[in-house]
Amino acid sequence: MASTWASNLRPQVTTSCIVLGAVGVSLGLSVRMLMSSTSAQKKPIIIASPRTTQLPQLSREETASLSYPPDALPGARDVETPYGTIKVFEWGPEDGEKVLLLHGISTPCLSLGILGEALVERGYRVMLFDFFGRGYSDAPTDIPYDIRLYSTQILLALASSKLPWTGDNGFHIIGYSLGGGLAVSFAKYYSHMIRSLVLVASGGLIRSEHVSRRSRILYSEGIFPESLLRWLVRRRITPQPATTTSEAKMASEVVAAPSTTTTEQSTKKHHKNSDASGGDSFDNAVLSPHRANSTVSSVMAWQVQHQQGFLTAFMSSIRHAPIYEQREDWIRLGQLLAARRQAKEVAASEKLPGLLAGKVLLVLGSTDPVIIKEELIHDATSVLGEDGFEAVLLDCGHEIVMTKGKEVAGLAARFWSRT
């Protein structure tokens, strides 16, 4: 089902939303007048990343001091494609099993650096890349950021390697947050290539009830002028004087904080320092153990200021990427996994390639307010079946891949050893 959550939720706009809309339209007229000269110009098809807009203006020392320098991880390369240049990192033993890491909706692939290093130490070959409009990857503007674009980017990154990644049982995937939702939808079409799926704090089955009224308005389509929505979103995520951009703001756009019922009072208190409330545990999480200044908030502040395609990528991903209520793709994954389990007794030459374990590994943060563990386990059971997954809880929030990267690597390696 190709419709986006914004379209699906559009009929639920309430009277208060309509009143707010009337105010918004009025404000939008003023904003559009101010932006008329800019909007009259033809939009660029590709928005260049900081690789070409910022780095040429910096000295070597200034570049090295960035919270996310272009060589922050080993094996860096810039891959030119029809959709713009992609920043790819690939390193580890060339004869090791291959692992593709897919990052979240807003922080670039540096957020998976600790996990990647831990996997390389265990003998795996890893590949990471910045999604379009994030980090050092350019941003196409003439196509929605849906599974078609993301699948294409995954294949382009894989094809850029000097080593063979595609083909039967070519690589494992570890998908984090948005990356988990992308991994499931990607597996619907390319299951034969994927040795296994490890989904860490995965999107894809987030319930639409968690989308706040504010987000329904900001990321709607066809209701308010697009220029107004972009102005409002940019204003929300742009660093203000004496502050830094909080990844918590991005998380709150994806899913609202849990409601405060009598039975949930302790949960809300426990989530006081989580990304959904703007606390320290997520924003101050370190993305690179080799760089003290590479925290989530510092990298986000750099990205919002210098990645000119970020706003396009972020807004379009919330609207079109497989984040919410993707039951159809998860049901299909459940069918693919069941087929592998049923074929375990046949001869090796007749086995179906890919998804060798016949199940996926879910790794969840016990205090994660974005991916609610009880909801995901319940919903995963309904679409994958009880035999379709294993679930492991770690004592952390949505910052799981940064603070628990080594533990996640260990869990993945043990899961793979049983396949």
pLDDT tens per residue, range 8-27: 433 343 434 443 444 444 44
Confidence of residue 177 (pLDDT cuts 50, 70, 90): very high
Q: What is the CATH number of the domain that holds 277?
A: 3.40.50.1820
Top mean-pLDDT range of 29-43, 349-363, 388-402: 388-402
Mean pLDDT is lowest, of 76-85, 321-330, 335-344, for 335-344
Confidence of residue 210 (pLDDT cuts 50, 70, 90): confident
Mean pLDDT is lowest, of 257-271, 297-311, 334-348, 369-383, for 257-271
**Does position 418 have pLDDT exceeding 90, yes or no?**
no
pLDDT of residue 63: 96
- Residue 325 in domain: yes
- Residue 48 in domain: yes
List 90's β-bridge partners, or say none: 127
How long a stretch of residues is the chain?
419
- Residue 11 in domain: no
- Residue 22 in domain: no
The pair phi, psi for residue 176, each rounded to 5°, is: -110, 125
Confidence of residue 274 (pLDDT cuts 50, 70, 90): very low
**How many secondary structure helices (H) and strands (E) does the chain include?**
19, 10
- Residue 76 in domain: yes
User: Which residue would you say has higher pLDDT here, 352 or 132?
Assistant: 132
Q: Are 373 and 394 in contact (CB under 8 A)?
A: no
pLDDT of residue 218: 86
User: Which residue would you say has higher pLDDT here, 216 or 373?
Assistant: 373
- Residue 220 in domain: no
Enclosing domain of residue 130: 43-206+238-253+265-417
pLDDT of residue 407: 97
Helix (H) or strand (E) run with residue 402 in it: helix 400-403
pLDDT of residue 291: 81
pTM: 0.86
pLDDT of residue 81: 98
Q: How far apart are CA 107 and CA 417, in angstroms?
A: 30
* DSSP helix/strand/coil, 416: helix
Instruction: Please state, in angstroms and as integers, the Cα–Cα distance from residue 385 to each residue in 173, 186, 341, 358, following that order.
Output: 21, 20, 12, 11
**Does position 333 have pLDDT exceeding 70, yes or no?**
yes
Short-list 377, 104, 372, CA closest to 259: 372
pLDDT of residue 241: 56
- Residue 388 in domain: yes
Mean pLDDT is lowest, of 136-145, 247-256, 301-310, for 247-256
Average predicted confidence (pLDDT) for the chain: 84
Express each pLDDT in 401-411 by its tens digit: 999 999 999 99
Q: How far apart are CA 250 and CA 316, in angstroms?
A: 13
Express each pLDDT in 98-135 by its tens digit: 999 999 999 999 999 999 999 999 999 999 999 999 99
Number of domains in the chain: 1
Torsion angle of C-alpha atoms 111, 313, 368, 205, degrees rounded to 10: -120
Q: How far apart are CA 378 and CA 317, in angstroms?
A: 25
pLDDT of residue 308: 95
Tokens found for residue 268: 């809300």
DSSP label at 352? Answer: P
Confidence of residue 363 (pLDDT cuts 50, 70, 90): very high
Tokens found for residue 191: 């299951």
The pair phi, psi for residue 327, each rounded to 5°, is: -65, -35
Q: Are 412 and 119 in contact (CB under 8 A)?
A: yes
Tokens found for residue 106: 């807003």
Mean pLDDT is lowest, of 142-146, 185-189, 213-217, for 213-217
Express each pLDDT in 224-273 by its tens digit: 999 999 898 888 877 665 455 666 666 767 777 554 443 343 344 333 33
Confidence of residue 213 (pLDDT cuts 50, 70, 90): confident
Q: What is the DSSP string of 247-292?
A: HHHHHHHHSPPPP--GGGHHHHHHGGGSTTTT-HHHHT-BS-TT-T
Q: Across residues 183-205, what is the average pLDDT?
A: 97
Strand locations in 28-118 (E): 46-47, 76-79, 86-91, 98-102
User: Which residue would you say has higher pLDDT here, 31 or 110?
Assistant: 110
**Does position 336 have pLDDT exceeding 60, yes or no?**
yes
- Residue 311 in domain: yes
